[in-house]
Each structure stands twice: as structure tokens, then as C-alpha cells.
Chain A
Amino acid sequence: MFRSRALIAFLLGLLSSGVLLSGCTANGSLEEGTIELLNVSYDPTRELWKDINAVFTQRYREETGVPLKITQSHAASGSQARAIVDGLAADVATLSLWPDTDALRKNGLVQEGWEERLPNRSLPYTSTVVFLVRKGNPKGIQDWADLAKEGTVVVTPSPKTSGNGRMTFLAAWGSVVLNGGSETEAQEFVRRVYKNVAVLDTGARGSTATFAIKGIGDVLSTMESEAYLTLQETPGQFEIVYPSLSFLHEPPVAVVDSVVERKGTRAHAEKYLQFLYTREGQEIIAKHFFRPIDPEVAAAHREQFPELRLFPVTEVAADWNDAQQKFFADGGIFDQLYQPEARTAAR
């Protein structure tokens, strides 16, 4: 018969194992004097930062003798900004969009003028939106206009939740207004593009999975880095198509002042971000299919990054906040254009 003593022993065992294990967590297996940095970033940069962290940790050790441990956190850019505001102790914020980093400034976590603290307006790399199509490009997709054609099935994340989705929207919009079209024409065009969207995932990786793994759609509109990564993972199934013009993605990096002040890690965090601008850092960036800003490194990888007309957000709106308000806020242009019911009925 089951004894109550045994039950008590079992529960005590459970408690002690929990306490014991959490004790171990606190101690960890870190070397004495190790400085821990947390890099809070957006979704498609996991592989990039993994690589950079490994190399930088080694270089930093060689130069200064300080052992570093850099941890990463990835999720949608907007929710990461929110998490930092809510207390996620990020030493550096490497988010996708300027308003997300600027939200940290608005909440007093990053000082005024953060953009000017690092070269090139704190942009160590850029990227853009490209098309991923099935091998041989059976639907003959060449430019934005082809996405609006009847019968083309498009996959892209939702502009409401995803930075990637927002950039696709703005690129499609810009393809009209920057080629002499009016805003009314742009609205009509973008409406037709989104009518062709089969699945509006919440994030970039979700869309990639929908297109590449589930096999839905003729074209995936996504970040250049994501497109190359998909090619790498699924050789021979897809190809990349560059439109004639696209959106210039400018993801800024910043040291989170309130966190580094509290943790006393400012010097290390600043060195970490400065490393991105070195030759070695830029090479790693190019290796992960992000566009380096160093002209020499960029020249060395020209084949990988064909030149096309890239436009920043300021050409279609006053700034990111304005774009957010105008296009993506509740009741904004996207909400007016995109009606899921109408889409279903039309298909």
C-alpha cells in the first residue's frame, strides 16, 4: 500500500531537486569575471548574430583579456521593443525599424541623439525586399506589376504585425508613386496585390514556411537575407527575382543606456556595436546576405547584391511614424484596402 510517508518524501524530493537545480542555474558554468551582454534583436538575424557573437567574443578576449558571453533574444521587432521597455535587460537593441528603437528613447531608455553615436546613422548594414519564386519562374514574375496580375498567388506576412510585411507593402506602394503614379493609382494597385495574397502570416519566418514547406503560392515577397537563406536550405527548388525598384531596409543598432548604466557594461556594449563596422564584421554581415555599408566589402560581394533602385521610407512618407500612421494604423490605408471577406469571395 502506498504510504503517506513516501508521498511526503516524494514531494520533498521534488522541492529539493527544484531548489538544487535553480541553485545550479545561479552559479552556472561561467568563467570568473565573465561579462554578460544581451542583444535583443528581430527575427531573421539569428544566424547573423550567432556568427558575429562567436567571432567578436574571441577577438575581444584577444585584445582586452575580458571574457564575454553574449546572449541573443529574437522575436518580432515591435514586441521586442516593448519587452525592453517592460524590463528585458538588453545591453544593445538591434531592432528592425527606426520607430522601434526610437520607442526606447521615448521611454527614456536610450538617450537623445542615439542615431548619431555610431557611423552611418547607426546603420551597420541595410537590406531590401525581393521575390522568391519557384524554380524556372513558371509564372514569369519580374516586377511588382506581376504581383497584381489575376491568377498570381502571393505570400507575404501581414503589415499589421510584421516589419517585413510593412516593407513589402511600402515597396509595392513605391513602385507606383515613385514611377509617376498617383496615390489613388497606388491604392488600387496595392489592393490588387493583397487580393492575390493567399496567406497573411504574422511574421517573416511564418511566410517562408508557408511558401517553402507547405508549398503555397507562386511568389514570396520577403527580405533579401531570408530569400537567400531559403535558397540555402532548399537547394534547387526556388530562385530569387529582383524587382526594378524596392524598399531600403535600414535596421539601426543602439546601446541601451539605462541598462548598460545599471549593469556597468557600457564600454563592452559600445565595442560590440563598433565591431560591426570593422572589415571583419562587415564580411560576416555580407556572408549572411545583409548588405554591408563598407564600400570595399560591398564591392567584393557585388554579384550577391545586384544593384537596383532602393528607396528609403522618407520617399513615401515624412518618416516612419508618419508611414505607420498613414498606412498601418487601425483604419489606415492598409485596413481600407484589405478586406479578407472580399478576398475570399473573389477567389
Chain B
Amino acid sequence: MKPDAARRRPGVGSGRPTEPAWGRRLLISLALSVLIVLVVIPVASVFGYAFSKGWDHYWNTLLRDPDTRHAMWLTLVVAPTSVLLNVVFGIAAAWALTRFEFRGRTLLTTFLDLPFAVSPVVAGLMFVLLFGATGVFGPQLQSWGVTIIFSTPGLILATTFVTLPFVARELIPVMQAIGPEEELAAITLGANGWQMFRRITLPNIKWGLLYGVILCNARAMGEYGAVYVVSGHISGQTDTLPLRVEKLLQEFDTAGSFAVASVLTFLALVTLIVKSFLEARTARDLEEAPADDAGLPPDDIEAPAASSEPASTSAAAITAAGI
């Protein structure tokens, strides 16, 4: 994807529509029916199946079954921990890539995207080969009594790897748009590093950061492939919610499986709502901002925001404008 195309402001059309009314209606209904078949019906059917054996079965599956309870809890441990690691790493990476000129910067940017390119299953396998009992670090770790693979640390590691690019990818365009001037000014006025970060950088990047956190969290909670490989499938110990969904399905408990799936779907819907709120929020800030500041930021390194171009674009424009 060309960064220029991704960067163009939405809603800048060419004027009045030229198509005839029936053509527009046809296109709209076509788009709608595709949306209904691909999105609405499957999502609705998740809830339909979930409640197919009634409310009691639904709640019993979710709350009484100790393995399912543990899976929820494990997901609540693994996802936030991964998100947090990625926040720290993402800010550091975005900072390094946008504030410093150094050899191999492009290479680092490429590496940042590697987790998107590598299949999650391969990623999981990679960690098994590194930290497994026969792996590179495995025997040493085992002699220290440290287990990584087939336990929670392995799950966190795999999830963190898979979600690695999200935060950094959101922040890079934002930080590029802002430029280092304000930070330099703060330093000149005697701020120390932490003060500068807290008072200048963080307020500037907060929307992009939050957006990255939300995407990262959504992906972390739903991660299946990498986690499947490193989990070891121990019921009530290393099964996260997506793994639990599959396990229940294999145990012929379709309603139970969809009940757990509905929790994940619900979380996805919440994510969607928060995301829309953030977008609306940034759009409003954009309108309030003086027009001449909202122009396109200079851009010298390639920044292909992988999955969320419009949002990061508007976030970038906003933050640039809203200072």
C-alpha cells in the first residue's frame, strides 16, 4: 500500500454523484447483502447457537465450568500483559524510529512488521524451538527450573510477538507528524527526560496510543494459532478463551462452545464501539483545529500502517492539529 494513498484525508470527494439513482441503489443493496451474509448473519448465529440450549445452559457453561472460568481468567492475564509489553516496546520503537537518524533504521522498520508477515503457527513453533526442552535455551532454563513453553510465560511470549507491530505502527505516523520541535523546546527550557515525555510526548500521542492498545488487545484476546502451538492443551491450565472454544466444540458441546465464543464476540463488539468513539473523538478535534495546521505531515520513512489506515491517518492529523 502506498503511504500517500493511506494518508489522504477521507471525505474529500469530487462533488455530486453522477450515477443514476437505480445504479446507486443497486450498489448499496449489493454492499449491504454482502455485509449481511459475511458479517451480520455469522455474528448473530454465534449468539443464536450460544443460547440454543437456553439461558441456564449458557450461564452454567460460562460460570460453573472450572475449565472455562480458568480460560477467561487466563485470557485476562495474557492479553493485558502482552498489551503492556507492547506499549512499552511500541513507544520505544516509535521513538527510536522517528526521533533519531541511524544506520539500519529502515531495516528496523521492516523487522517491526515481521510478526505480521510470519504465520502465527510458525511464530509459535519458533518459540518451541527456542525455549522447548530440546531447544536452544531449553536445557539451560530447565536446569534452573524455569518453564516457558507449555505454561503462561510461553502464552504471553507468543501473544506479544504476534501483536508486536500494533502499538508501534500506530505511533510512528503520529510521532512523525508531530515532529521533535516541542520536545526540543521542552529540553531547552530545562525539562528532564521524564518531564518531557509526560508533559509533551504522551499528551501528543495519547489517541494514537490508545487506538493501538485497543487493536492490540483485540488481537491478543483472539489469538489462536501461535498460542495453540505453545499451550500444550492442558485443560484448566493453558487454555485461553479461543482454545477453549475449540475444545468445547470437539467435546460435542456446541452450545457451550458458542457461549464462550459469544464472550469473545461481545468483547470484539465492545472494542468496535470504543474504536468508533475514539474515531469520533479525533474527528471532532479535527474540526475544532485551525485548518492550516492539519495539513499533511512531511514523511521521509515509509510507514505502512497495516490494518487501520483511516484511523491512524486521522489520529495523525488530529494530533498534529490539536497541539
B228 to nearest A CB, angstroms?
9
B81 touches A86 (CB 8 A): no
| CB of B42 closer than 8 Å to a CB of A | no
B87 touches A11 (CB 8 A): yes
**Cβ 8 A contact of B202, one of A8, A40, A85:** A8
- For B199, what are the chain A residues with a Cβ–Cβ distance below 8 Å? 4
| CB of B251 closer than 8 Å to a CB of A | yes
B252 touches A71 (CB 8 A): no
A72 touches B234 (CB 8 A): yes
Distance of A38 Cα from B81 Cα, bound (Å): 26
Interface string of A70-81 (1 = CB under 8 A from B): 011111000000
A43 touches B128 (CB 8 A): no
Distance of A8 Cα from B149 Cα, bound (Å): 31
A107 touches B134 (CB 8 A): yes
A7 touches B209 (CB 8 A): yes
B29 to nearest A CB, angstroms?
30
| CB of B317 closer than 8 Å to a CB of A | no
**Cβ 8 A contact of B203, one of A4, A14, A74:** A4
B132 touches A87 (CB 8 A): yes
Distance of A43 Cα from B246 Cα, bound (Å): 12
B258 to nearest A CB, angstroms?
13
Distance of A66 Cα from B87 Cα, bound (Å): 45
B233 touches A86 (CB 8 A): no
CB contacts under 8 Å to B, within A28-43, are: 38, 40, 43
B66 nearest CB neighbor, chain A only: A29
B230 to nearest A CB, angstroms?
10
| CB of B80 closer than 8 Å to a CB of A | yes
A2 touches B206 (CB 8 A): yes
Distance of A107 Cα from B132 Cα, bound (Å): 14
B154 nearest CB neighbor, chain A only: A87
**Cβ 8 A contact of A4, one of B83, B198, B235:** B198
When A11-B84, A38-B234, A73-B235 are in contact, do A43 and B149 touch as well, CB less than 8 Å? no
B70 nearest CB neighbor, chain A only: A25
**Cβ 8 A contact of A14, one of B84, B202, B206:** B84
A72 nearest CB neighbor, chain B only: B235
- For B147, what are the chain A residues with a Cβ–Cβ distance below 8 Å? 87, 89
CB contacts under 8 Å to B, within A79-108, are: 83, 85-89, 107
Distance of A86 Cα from B138 Cα, bound (Å): 8
Q: Number of A residues whose C-beta is below 8 Å from B?
A: 33
Distance of A15 Cα from B79 Cα, bound (Å): 11
Distance of A14 Cα from B85 Cα, bound (Å): 11
- For A4, what are the chain B residues with a Cβ–Cβ distance below 8 Å? 198-199, 202-203, 206
CB contacts under 8 Å to B, within A208-264, are: 229, 233
| CB of A18 closer than 8 Å to a CB of B | yes
A85 touches B134 (CB 8 A): yes
**Cβ 8 A contact of B252, one of A22, A73, A233:** A233
Q: Which of B80, B83, B132, B247 has the most CB of A within 10 A?
A: B80
B232 touches A73 (CB 8 A): yes
Interface positions of B (Cβ within 8 A of A):
73-74, 76-77, 80-81, 83-84, 87, 128, 131-135, 138, 142, 147, 149-150, 152, 198-199, 202-203, 206-207, 209-210, 232-237, 247, 250-252
| 22 contacts across the A-B interface (CB closer than 8 A) | A4-B198, A8-B202, A11-B87, A17-B80, A21-B73, A22-B81, A25-B152, A38-B234, A46-B250, A47-B251, A71-B236, A71-B237, A85-B134, A87-B132, A87-B133, A87-B138, A87-B142, A88-B149, A89-B150, A107-B134, A229-B252, A233-B252
Q: A17-B80, A25-B74 are in contact. List 13 more A-B contacts (CB 8 A).
A: A2-B206, A7-B202, A8-B202, A14-B80, A18-B80, A21-B76, A22-B77, A46-B250, A47-B251, A86-B128, A87-B133, A87-B149, A205-B250
Q: Which 3 A-B pairs have the closest CB atoms?
A: A87-B133, A86-B132, A18-B81
